[in-house]
Amino acid sequence: MMSAYPPKRGQRLCMAIPASLVEDTPHLREKTYKVGLVGRAASIFRVDEIMIYFDKPHQNQNQDAELIASILRYMETPQYLRRVLVKVEPKLRFVGILPPLRTPHHLVSGKREDLKPGMLRQGIVTEVRDKFSLVDVGVGEPAIVQGSLPTNSRITVTLTKIKGGIEAVMLDEAEIRIYWGFHVTVPKLPLAESSRKIGFDLIISTSRYGKEIDEVFPDLQSAWAESKRILVAFGSPAKGLEDILKGEGLGLKEYSDFAINTIPKQGVETVRIEEAIYASLSLLNILR
């Protein structure tokens, strides 16, 4: 259980997952559940960004990538904002089975009496007047934020006044000191190109052909501490990262700074991607 709000990481942590994540799962209900496991893992281990890369260059993977992205974005959106920000469409018809994230920005209470000055909430700008904007923060009464903000934009505010009327100040992402959910990006490019487009100080590949983490831990720990933007990449249900990168003319050593095996001496023939994500991020979590 979360006893206190978890701090934001000192580095921006991104994980790369393939567009073929749900390709081997036939029914939309099971696809939704599988993506839900990934979104839950990202939240547990304070991942800031999920990058969906195309792992089959000779196939059109737009549909699968957008399905994964849509489900993840739905999960990450606070419940009281979904009715405005999420378009109801057939591919989201099984989102009711998704596990709740219960991250700090997914506040359960929607009661005005539970609000306190200094509290952070996400909201959506519903109306702009002469010198201020009205923001729906999910309590049945809008918060007043000074300045003209784009209508229907999603923002984070800190509450400054509760009695009488609710007043708040908008925060930039850099001002938020606690873990505040993840973003989803779909570069629509192969892994290496996606990584170059976004840009990372440190890239970690997860592979059964990598070194065991205890062999590289001191060097990995130093590199992690010195990096500002970190990527942890995962293979697909059909191919490991070594084979995926081979199709791009690269090897693990050429692509990544570290290739690590986070499940040495695995007792099964293959490890599913969602299992690899939990295993890998739990080990890397000690680097904070």
**Distance between CA atoms of residues 83 and 67, nearest Å:** 19
The three-point CA angle 115-119-123 to 5° equals: 85
Residue with structure tokens 């709000």?
5
Q: Which CATH number fits domain 112-175: 2.40.50.140, 2.60.40.1840, 3.40.1160.10, 3.40.30.10?
A: 2.40.50.140
* pLDDT average, residue stretch 213-234: 95
CATH class, range 12-103+181-287: alpha beta
Q: What is the pLDDT of residues 233-284, one digit of tens each?
A: 999 999 999 999 999 999 999 999 999 999 998 898 888 999 999 999 999 9
What tokens appear for 273 in the block?
A: 């991607």
Mean pLDDT score across all residues of the chain: 93
Chain centroid, CA 59 distance in Å: 25
pLDDT given at position 114: 83
pLDDT given at position 272: 92
pLDDT class for 108, splitting at 50, 70, 90? low
The three-point CA angle 58-184-180 to 5° equals: 165
**Residue 275 · residue 235 · CB < 8 Å:** no
pLDDT given at position 160: 96
pLDDT of 8 strictly over 70? yes
Residue with structure tokens 């993506």?
35
Indicate the domain borders of the chain: 12-103+181-287, 112-175
**Range in 67-71, 220-224, 264-268 the model is least confident about:** 264-268
pLDDT class for 109, splitting at 50, 70, 90? low
**Residue 124 · residue 142 · CB < 8 Å:** no
pLDDT given at position 117: 93
Q: What is the pLDDT of residues 21-55, one digit of tens each?
A: 999 899 999 999 999 999 999 999 999 999 999 99
**Predicted model pTM:** 0.93
51, with CB counted inside 10 A (0-12, 13-18, 19+), is buried
**Distance between CA atoms of residues 132 and 221, nearest Å:** 47
